[in-house]
Amino acid sequence: MEGSWSGDLVVIVFPSMEQAQAWYHSDAYGAIRKLRTANTEGDVLLVQGVADGHKGADILG
């Protein structure tokens, strides 16, 4: 809605940051990492989510 984003976005949800990091460092992801990086351009981000019901306005001064 604001700014520009050229391309696609893939979102994978994990129950916790620890599980997301474990997936990233796993043998399973390691086995396909070279295939992904050789055939796509992009970034991998691990982003901490917020609790259900979170309202951004609640933290504004």
| Structural domain contains residue 34 | yes
Is residue 3 assigned to a domain? no
pLDDT of the chain, 61 residues: tens digit per residue: 788 878 888 899 999 999 999 999 999 999 999 999 999 888 888 999 888 888 888 887 6
Q: What is the pTM of this model?
A: 0.68
The range of the structural domain enclosing residue 46 comes to 17-59
5 domain-assigned: no
Domain annotation covers residue 47: yes
- Classify residue 32: in a domain, yes or no: yes
Is 4 part of any domain? no
Calpha distance 16→48 (Å, rounded): 8
Angle between helix axes 17-24 and 27-39 (nearest 10 degrees) is 70
The token pair that represents 13 in the structure block? 């949800």
Domain count, the chain: 1
What residue type is assigned to position 4 of the chain?
Answer: S
